[in-house]
Homo-oligomer: A and B are copies of this chain.
Amino acid sequence: MSLDNKKDKGIQSVIQIDRLVHEPARMLIMAILLSVENADFLFLLKQTGLTRGNLSSHLSKLETAGYVSITKEFVDKIPRTLLTATDGGSDAFENYRRRMIGILENC
């Protein structure tokens, strides 16, 4: 009856999960960025299936949080937006993953 055992103590902490990573669209973006060497806007657009506007605003939020760095360059006069996960972003994602798996495996 009591919820004071290890199993249940864990799940309470789901309330404090990192919501920036928790949002599915951003979780996907981070996972992709961490799995490839380099990614640009169009690559992410294809891989995620998000609309351009949506992708753009999620990237801005991740940048503001310091999880992703955005670099703009020109290749043959065509703009190219390069996205990279920062160390902080990598840590945040790994923490999220670990905690979330821990929580879900004990329900």
Q: Which of A9-61 contact B (CB under 8 A)?
A: 11-12, 14-15, 17, 19, 22, 24-25, 27-28, 31-32, 34-37, 47-49
Using CB atoms and an 8 Å cutoff, list the residues of chain A in contact with chain B: 1, 3, 7-8, 11-12, 14-15, 17, 19, 22, 24-25, 27-28, 31-32, 34-37, 47-49, 93, 97, 100-101, 104-105, 107
20 A–B pairs (Cβ distance < 8 Å), ordered by A: A3-B32, A3-B36, A3-B47, A7-B35, A11-B32, A12-B28, A12-B48, A12-B49, A15-B24, A15-B25, A15-B28, A15-B49, A19-B24, A22-B22, A22-B24, A31-B107, A93-B107, A97-B104, A97-B107, A101-B105
